[in-house]
Structure 1
Amino acid sequence: MKKVVYFGNKTSGFQSTKSTLETLEPLLSEIVEIHSYSDKKNKLVRLVHMIIGFLSHVGSANTIVIDVYSSAAIRYAEMIGFMSRVFRKKYILVLHGGNLPEVYRRKEKRIKRLFTNASHIIAPSHYLKSFFESKGYVVQLVPNIIQLEQYPYLKRKKIRPKLLALRGFKPAYNPMMTIKAVEILKTRGIFTELRLLGNNDEEHFDEVMAYIKEKNLQDCINVLPKQEKLVWITESKNFDIMISNPFIDNTPVSLIEGMALGMCVITTNVGGVPYLVKDNEEVLYVTSDDEIGLADKISELLTNQELASKLSQHGRSKAEEYDWGHVKNLWGKLLT
């Protein structure tokens, strides 16, 4: 069996959600022997852990796999890529983050060294694939995966005004847009129940809580800490609409998860989202930072049973394309 060392972020030990690497690792172990790094929270400690892990396995590894993020974590990819070149090891890059094209524009000379020497470049979305192909790279589409059996499908027909938002209070996810849409609906006499999952150490938590109190929205907004996946999946049957309105995104797994469960998804049409799902077929689009538009889309779902039923059915069909059974062969061709 081929040996692979995978470098990325393993965050479930200090965040409530699993990273892409943590989701992939047990599945890839079906086809290769895999070791992965790093689960350290401190950034310097994480880098050292990755370097030690690389040196521990470089002699026996057939392939190095490196996650490339659009945040400061791109430094880890640059370091492991440099070490792979020094030791003449084949490495594969896995692209993440809707803002990666902008990072490339700003740091093109640095990133070129990393990209040019990769044996393969993987993108989880047509958005990133198209951008980097326009820069002259050969990029293979390998979608993010979900394990479909974990997501029991419930077809939504007549939609209840019950909303679920998973993405929390970080700036990129624009939680105030969701809160203000609920406020607008309340002024229109439409009372919704929003469950907003997010942690109190995220940047906009205090702002969101203060606004809810100021506008007397406690009767329609319930803020809870982020939950383990199996918990919110179990509770999802009590909600019919998923809200996702980030400023920038690539291939949001939470959006795919919502569709898999049969929820009607409303999302901002930013970054890679238009490459992923079709408006009025699989999801509803709303313009970024447009709380009035979001309120209008929610109202439309509450009154249009035919639309809701279509989104629920077509969304599930779309999500099936991201099941591990479909994606496993793509990884197998790259690693074995």
Structure 2
Amino acid sequence: MKKLLYIGNNLSHGNPTTIIQLSLALKTENVEVLVYSNKKNIFFRLLDMCWGIIKNYNASYILIDTYSTANFYYTFITSQIARLLHIKYIPILHGGNLPNRLKNSTLLSKMIFKNSYINVSPSKYLYHEFSKSGYDTIYIPNAISMRLYPFTLRSVFTPKLLWVRAFDEIYNPKMAVEVLFELKKKYKNAALCMVGPDKDGSLQEVIDLAKTKSVADSIEYTGLLSKQEWIKKSKNYSFFINTTNFDNMPVSIIEAMALGLPVISTNVGGMPYLIEDGVTGKLVAKNNVLQMVNTIESIIENSSLGIEITKNAKQQVTHFDEAIVKKMWLNLLK
């Protein structure tokens, strides 16, 4: 039996994260997977990660969830301990802003990514960026269990918008309120549901903006929902909007495609690698409220466009099914 360490944030907040899903999938294939860490305090979490590596120096591989912000230094420290102990490590590239990290932290990036066994990118965007920078990288997408996402083919599209993300400035949640405000000029029944926890205080800014724009009564804030809860809620909506300023390959967009919601997203980071504009979704310029509004209106007024997009998107996301992705991981680790 192979022993595998998985280093990352194991704080699930009630929903299975990538670290949990992949660990469970590999455990079914006679692989021992030890996960670090579930410590809430960031200092103790780092200590737990480091001790986990030292304690399990006989591990076959270490998988390290890698992001572009402060957690980047978790990757640096744990990867260098793995090097000292001669353990093969595999960074899993998640952060949409990692290409900038490669430029701004050149030495640290080389120490991490040049010495890894291989770098794994769940998005074709980061695969392209890392390969271009000379780092050995392969593409293995994030997985979802397709059986959990019942596809609904909508024949009529209404101005009912679903937004699923943490309230964080980089995800530009206020743009969703602006889109709703513009839609209500033409569609009085327009509504917005915003699902996700408050991360940096942006929720209050969104609430204040909604009051200023007089659309507060048309917005529902659910807080964090379980996967099952927001999937159930999605049946009441016609569009999934993604307003982010930076992105990689959010699983929520894959999930929305699987559910039959047409995705309207800002054209940033990995989005054009996930969404083919006009084929599997629609892309608009970053922070361009009117372009997003016009795109939504075009589908409301021409339902055949929305039907075609959702059918194409459903076909595309079948490739993200966990059975297929698990095989890709097993071929890498065998």
Which residue does 1:252 correspond to in 2?
250
Could you list the runs of 5+ residues in structure 1 that have no partner in the other structure? none
Which residue does 1:270 correspond to in 2?
268
Question: More deviation in 141-150 or 193-202?
Answer: 193-202
CA contact (8 A) 1:251 1:276 kept: yes
Q: 1:202 offset after TM fit, Å?
A: 3.5
User: Aligned with 1:325: secondary structure?
Assistant: helix
Q: 1:198 offset after TM fit, Å?
A: 3.0
Which residue does 2:164 correspond to in 1?
166
Name the amino acid aligned to 1:196. M
User: Aligned with 1:53: secondary structure?
Assistant: helix
Alignment of 1:283-298 (within 5 A): 283-298=281-296
CA contact (8 A) 2:179 2:290 kept: yes
Q: 1:104 offset after TM fit, Å?
A: 1.0
Name the amino acid aligned to 1:228. S
Which residue does 2:9 correspond to in 1?
9
CA deviation profile, 1:203-233 (whole Å, cap 9, x unmatched): 2111111111222212321112120111111
Q: Distance between the aligned counterparts of 1:280 and 1:201, measured in 2?
A: 32
**Larger relative contact order, structure 1 or 2 (CA cutoff 8 Å, min sep 6):** 1
Q: Distance between the aligned counterparts of 2:272 and 2:161, measured in 1?
A: 22
CA contact (8 A) 2:168 2:198 kept: no
Question: More deviation in 184-193 or 322-331?
Answer: 184-193
Q: Distance between the aligned counterparts of 1:202 and 1:287, measured in 2?
A: 24
Alignment of 1:91-170 (within 5 A): 91-170=89-168
Q: Identity of aligned pairs, percent?
A: 35
Q: Distance between the aligned counterparts of 2:113 and 2:198, measured in 1?
A: 37
CA contact (8 A) 1:68 1:93 kept: yes
Q: 1:11 offset after TM fit, Å?
A: 2.3
Which residue does 2:17 correspond to in 1?
19
TM-score of the pair, normalised by structure 2 = 0.96
Which residue does 2:56 correspond to in 1?
57
TM-score of the pair, normalised by structure 1 = 0.96
Alignment of 1:69-108 (within 5 A): 69-108=67-106
Name the amino acid aligned to 2:60. N
Q: Distance between the aligned counterparts of 1:324 and 1:269, measured in 2?
A: 27
CA deviation profile, 1:242-264 (whole Å, cap 9, x unmatched): 01110011111100000000111
Which residue does 2:33 correspond to in 1?
34
Q: 1:161 offset after TM fit, Å?
A: 1.9
Q: 1:286 offset after TM fit, Å?
A: 1.2
Name the amino acid aligned to 2:24. P
CA contact (8 A) 1:156 1:264 kept: no
Q: 1:168 offset after TM fit, Å?
A: 3.3
CA contact (8 A) 1:127 1:250 kept: yes
Name the amino acid aligned to 1:164. L
Q: Distance between the aligned counterparts of 1:47 and 1:245, measured in 2?
A: 32
User: Aligned with 1:242: secondary structure?
Assistant: strand
Name the amino acid aligned to 1:12. S
CA deviation profile, 1:270-327 (whole Å, cap 9, x unmatched): 1011111201111011111011111111111211111010111111111111111211
Question: More deviation in 94-103 or 183-192?
Answer: 183-192
Q: Distance between the aligned counterparts of 1:104 and 1:233, measured in 2?
A: 36
Which residue does 2:330 correspond to in 1?
332
Which residue does 2:303 correspond to in 1?
305
Name the amino acid aligned to 2:162. L
Q: 1:200 offset after TM fit, Å?
A: 4.3
CA contact (8 A) 2:166 2:198 kept: no
Name the amino acid aligned to 1:322. F
Q: 1:189 to 1:161 in 2, by over 3 A?
A: closer
Name the amino acid aligned to 1:312. T
